[in-house]
Amino acid sequence: MDNTAVVIGAGIAGLAAARVLSTRYSSVTVLDRDSLPERAVPRRGVPQSGHAHILLISGLNELNELFPGFEAELLAGGGATFDTGTGLAWFRSGRRSRPVPTGMALVSVSRPGLETAVRNRVAELREVTIRDEVAVSGLTGSGDAVTGVVLDNGETIAADLVVDCTGRGSRSDRWLAALGFPAPAQVEIKVGMTFSTRYFRRRPGDLPDWQAALIQPEPPHQKMYGVALPVEDDRWVIELGGWRSTDPPEDGEQFARAVKDLPDPMISELVSRAEPVSDVTIARFPSNRRRLFEKLGRLPAGYVALGDALCSFNPVYGQGMTCALQEAATLGRVLDSHHARTDAAMARAFYAAVAKVIQTPWQFAVGNDFNYPETTGPRPAGIKITNWYAGRVMRAAQVDAEVNRTFVAVQQLLTPPSAFFRPGFVARVLSRGGRPR
């Protein structure tokens, strides 16, 4: 084996891709324009890194597969774990959840903590070289193939496969156009999300009887949600977010006022007791965006896009990192089925396979976002009846442990949404999912 790959971007998607490629390529080079910090701190190239992140259970499973012992490493580094039923106080559909175990546990760490742990494991791989403070300005090509990348300083790096993990702001359309390839069509669903986040010192008993809290609004009239997650260094990351929000809280005083507007007081009470250890940071997310590479009639050999460069979800649903990990695993399987060939047929097979990976989280995010009439973009067929039934599922999950276990399994991307339509499940939902009293 004497072949090379270049991965552009050293976020979760890029690092996962590098790990997958390390067993299939003799040399993998990861490029990132940021100065990658040794400590677990937010960085400029990942502007959302200081905000609350949830790694879904299926995403954790992918990381444990890629890096044996990874979960234990996160916990040893100060991460927290809790059952989604007994540890997470979940306010939805007008009521707080009851503490009933689901048997499905989350591991909670900060985004910088998670990325640093993954990057350290990837850096140990002898096939992988991580280069920071290098910016890619374009692609090199020959005929119908991408053959490498060009850096801002004029350096070229040849590669049998280039994987674009540069995120939502990917310049792949421009880069591919320069080589004569068409740009993919895009689907955009505008949501106008804002997020305000602050870190607090965490002490035992801060959140009585629970280890984390999630407060969901009741659309369409309530638009703000809140989440409190335990992370390493004995901290809480507390985030307030809103749909079509133009005035997010920008300082500690505004944050303390805004949190009182949540429909349940548990996070507000936590904020009133806890000691802040950071300023308030703000992020904005304008839209869900999906690039439809699978629809292109002509694809280059030697190039694929992955992660947010392919599909960027509303982060409120916590699906982005997990979906990127699943996409990386899909790339490995497709390469194996094509005997490591990087021709256009491999790229087409990858995009077809990854479209199936994306479809469930995309439907989940877009469907929920269309509960707000201000959301704009192509409306999925049957969205009204789908959202009506989804609302019944949510309400039933608050009072029926079996419905809740199925809901959590689907939400964590462990079980396909078809589980919602099994006759026995539908009967439970329709009998238990009326309006809250």
Q: What mean pLDDT value characterizes the chain? A: 95
Return the ∠ at Cα 226 (arms to 309 and 370), rounded to 5°: 55
Task: Provide the pLDDT confidence category of residue 349 given band limits of 50, 70 and 90.
Answer: very high
User: Partners of 236 in the beta sheet?
Assistant: 200, 230
User: Which residue ranges form the domains of the chain, and what is each CATH number?
Assistant: 4-68+113-187+288-367 (3.50.50.60), 82-109+191-286 (3.30.9.30), 383-432 (no CATH)
How are strands ordered across the β-sheet holding 235-242? 95-96, 88-92, 212-215, 224-231, 235-242, 186-201, 281-291, 311-312
Exposure on the CB side of residue 75, measured as CA atoms within 13 A: 12
Ranges of H-type helices in 191-310: 252-258, 266-273
Distance CA 213, CA 222 (A): 18
Q: Cα 304 vs. chain centroid, distance in angstroms?
A: 19
Name the residue type at position 83: D
For 95, list phi and psi in degrees, rounded to 5.
-150, 160
Distance CA 13, CA 161 (A): 16
Distance CA 17, CA 66 (A): 10
Contact 243, 375 (CB under 8 A): yes
> What is residue 243's predicted lDDT score, i.e. its pLDDT?
94
Task: Provide the pLDDT confidence category of residue 434 given band limits of 50, 70 and 90.
Answer: low
Interval 12-58: pLDDT, tens? 999 999 999 999 999 999 999 999 998 889 888 888 889 999 999 99
Return the exposure string of 377-390: e unless at least 16 CB atoms fall within 10 Å of the residue's CB, then b. beeeeeeeebbebb
pLDDT more than 70, % of the chain: 99
Name the residue type at position 181: F
Average pLDDT over residues 110-116: 97
Rounded to 5, what percent of the chain is helix, strand, coil? 35, 25, 40
